[in-house]
Structure 1
Amino acid sequence: MTQPPQQQQPPGTEQEMTPKPDHGEDSYQGSGRLEGKVAVITGADSGIGKAVAIAYAREGADVVISYLNEHEDAEETRRFVEDAGRRAVVISGDLADPAHCREIIQKTVDEFGRVDVLVSNAAFQMNHPTLEEIPDEEWDMTLAINLSAYFHLVKAALPHMAEGSSIIGSSSVNSDMPSPTLLPYAATKAAIANMTASLAQLLAERGIRANSVAPGPVWTPLIPATMPEEKVESFGQQVPLERAGQPAELAPVYVMLASDEASYVSGARVAVTGGNPIL
């Protein structure tokens, strides 16, 4: 299965993608597994974050939708959350700014009084064939958005998380099978997996769980916005299932990790890779 060659300017929008990603809009059916919970999801305007927001709302959670500036995508996510009968708070801003990370948590607490689930999912990547082509400022920005934001969000959220709360970091198959042309991104995804494993041990005595999800190739706006057209066209063909995953195929894992059913699951890294093993 292939996608037509296409490119966008970062950060990308699903409105310009062909074909459009499947976020579970027409397929995901909830069963009350997250009833009454409050979830913060970064990068929830599109891609995996949007699919998780839709699933969480249909499972009974209120959702805080954090995103950069893709307003049309974010408003669509809001509509799906509210159509599920749940409350949605939409917050735009740059996660590279620690103050904005703290603002997201503060607005969540102001609106709902607590944080039950924190999903640190937003990420940036760019394809570079040589190390010399990676600008210093891009290296710093990638670490700030992908990794440092995770730290600042968790640190701000912890005082408002009770026993039974869940932290989920979006890692990647790149965490231990790094693509040489995605060096900064791959480094951050390995660090997310490592940080999550540390958090699981550090927060166990508080009854707060921490896990990460390691997606393989998933069809999101990040792909046409950060990869050459020829790589977009063949994206996903390298895995045993020979296709890119859809965001909707990731959402059930995030639901499981956020739910009380996963009360003994902490420190895990769950692979959703289309057949590629991770260590």
Structure 2
Amino acid sequence: MTGAGRGIGAVIAQVLAAEGASVTVTDVRGAADTAHAITDAGGRAAAVDLDLTDRKARDGLVDAVLGRWGRLDVLVNNAAAHGSRVPLAELDYAEWDAVLEANLAATAFLSTQAAAAMTGGGSIVNVASIQQRLPLPHYGAYIASKGGITALSNALAVELAPDVRVNLVAPGVIDTESFRTTPGADALSNGAGSDGAATGAQAQPATLLGRAGTAHEIARAVAFLASDESSFTTGATLTVDGGRTLSRKPDPLAGG
């Protein structure tokens, strides 16, 4: 799975390993730490340092997984680049390209490559965000990429059926370390597609449940869609946001 070096991604990897999966953990940094945490707990994991904008390295990932474990049953596309928090008018081509490459292109190409290796069927779970419907200001490239991942997931579900199921998890604001400790507008999520944390731990999330979610709650949603327990589910979006998309509460995360 991608983006599993820290935060929500690391917890997803640990939950999948606890369910019995042999997990290949990838990230630009921190992959080895997550893999060690899994093996220390008695699970099976391997780490691959991977920059998803490096197409050559990215295209070698599926072969690396097959070489390590001998098979591939599940792909979780969790990694996400946010880019700078600036108006779209101030975003340059290089940063736009980097965000779309890491988020959307990587999801597309890893999904088709993984599906080709999933003999006997498999499951792909993509992680998007509720920001595609409730966008925070000044994250245009990130939001566009997450909306693209949603449309892409539907297209993949159609093209890869019936052998491979493709589903989507859309998190809201999630209580990660960055949410709790990083003040100001830079306190966004750690790459798992959360709704952000513009004012840090002091912000009261505008959810129906009156709190932020936990990384474990996102991980359990991913594990469900990855498993045979969701065997009749494909092309679905599971929104895990505490009712944020239905709430009419003012959003303290949207300022600035």
- TM class by smaller structure: 0.7 to 0.9
> TM-score scaled to structure 1, two decimals?
0.77
Q: Deviations over 1:143-198 (max 9, x none)?
A: 01111111121122122112331001101101222223211111111111111111
Q: Which amino acid aligns with 1:248?
A: H
Secondary structure of the 2:167 match is strand
Q: Which residue of 2 aligns with 1:251?
A: 219
User: Aligned to 1:181, what secondary structure does the other structure show?
Assistant: coil
For residue 180 of structure 1, give the secondary structure of its aligned residue in structure 2: coil
Higher relative contact order (CA 8 A, sep 6+): 1
Structure 2: state its 5+ residue gaps.
188-197, 247-256
Cα deviation, 1:227-275, whole Å, max 9, x if unaligned, reads: 3366224455222333332211211111111111111010000000121
Give the secondary structure class of the aligned counterpart of 1:261: helix
Residue 45 (structure 1) aligns with: 5
- Report the equivalent of 1:177: 134
Cα gap change, 1:217 to 1:236, in 2 (>3 Å): farther
What is the root-mean-square deviation of aligned Cα atoms in Å?
2.1
Q: Is the 2:24–2:47 contact (alpha carbons within 8 Å) kept by the matching residues of 1?
A: yes
Gaps of 5+ in 1: 1-40
Change in CA separation of 1:261 and 1:144 when aligned onto 2, cut-off 3 Å: same
Alpha-carbon distance in structure 2 between the residues aligned to 1:52 and 1:191: 22
1:100-135 alpha-carbon deviations (Å, 9 max, x no partner): 222221110111122100000000114535222223
Contact 2:87/2:140 (CA < 8 Å) preserved in 1?
no
Task: Check conservation: 2:5, 2:29, Cα contact below 8 A.
Answer: no
Find the residue that maps to 1:267 and give its secondary structure.
Answer: coil
Which residue identity does 1:277 align to in structure 2?
T
Deviation by residue 1:41-67 (Cα, 9 ceiling, x = unmatched): 101111221111111111101000001
Give the corresponding residue for 2:66. Answer: 109
Deviation per CA, 1:9-40, whole angstroms, max 9, x where unpaired?
xxxxxxxxxxxxxxxxxxxxxxxxxxxxxxxx
**Structure 2 contact 103–145 (Cα < 8 Å) conserved:** yes
- Which piece of structure 1 moves more, 106-115 or 155-164? 155-164
CA contact 1:166–1:208 (8 Å) conserved in 2: yes
Query: Judging changes above 3 Å, is the alpha-carbon distance between structure 1 residues 276 and 267 closer, same or farther for their aligned structure 2 residues?
Result: same
**Sequence identity of aligned pairs in percent?**
35
Normalising by the residue count of structure 2, what TM-score does the alignment of the two structures yield? 0.84
1:64 and 2:20 matched: no
CA pair 127-233 structure 1, distance change in 2 beyond 3 A: farther
CA contact (8 A) 1:217 1:244 kept: yes
In structure 2, C-alpha distance between the alignment counterparts of 1:175 and 1:256, rounded to whole Å: 23
Q: Determine the C-alpha separation between the residues in 2 that align with 1:234 and 1:169.
A: 30
Task: Find the counterpart in structure 2 of residue 214 from structure 1.
Answer: 170
3-state SS of 1:198 partner: helix
Aligned pairs, how many? 234
